[in-house]
Amino acid sequence: MIKVSQRQNGGVTILDVMGKITIGAGDLAVRNAVQEALNAGATGLLVNLQGVSTIDSSGIGELVSAFTTAANRGVKLKLLHLPPKVNDVLQITHLITVFDVFENEDEAVKSFS
């Protein structure tokens, strides 16, 4: 249903999310992955949403929570590779104005420095 894997690139922790970020499983998986990364000392978080097929309001809420949780710890959380449907949702919710969004991973990683 959902898989979140973690890797490093240039000192930035990247979370690759695959599947559905929806209520009951996907939202919790994202929450746990972000929490683990922060607890492990991540100084920059890049959430790669390329493999996300569906996101619901709980999934969007989880991204917002992750953003504010990270910010409260002085860590920036940014988004990478928005699928068109996820982009549409961020547009209509006006959250596109909250998140830094990138289409290129190297540029995204550089933006943290």
Partner 1 sequence: MPEENRFHLTIGSRFENIELVQVVLRDSLLRLGMDEDALHWVDVSVREAVANAIKHGNRQAADKRVQVDFAEAQGEVVIQIRDEGEGFSPEGLESPLAPENLTKPSGRGIFFMKSFMDGIEYGSGPDGGTVVTLRKRLAGPPPDAARDEKE
Binding positions for partner 1, rule: CB under 8 A: 1, 22-25, 54, 56-58, 60-62, 64-65, 67-68, 85, 89, 92-95, 97-98
Instruction: Tell me whether residue 15 or residue 109 sits nearer to partner 1 (CB atom).
Output: 15
Report in angstroms how near the CB of residue 7 gets to partner 1 at its nearest.
26
Report in angstroms how near the CB of residue 110 gets to partner 1 at its nearest.
26
Report in angstroms how near the CB of residue 23 gets to partner 1 at its nearest.
5
Residue 16 in tokens: 């690759």
**What DSSP assignment string belongs to 36-82?**
HHHHTT-SEEEEEEEEEEEE-HHHHHHHHHHHHHHHHTT-EEEEE--
Answer whether 80's CB lies under 8 Å from 49's CB.
yes
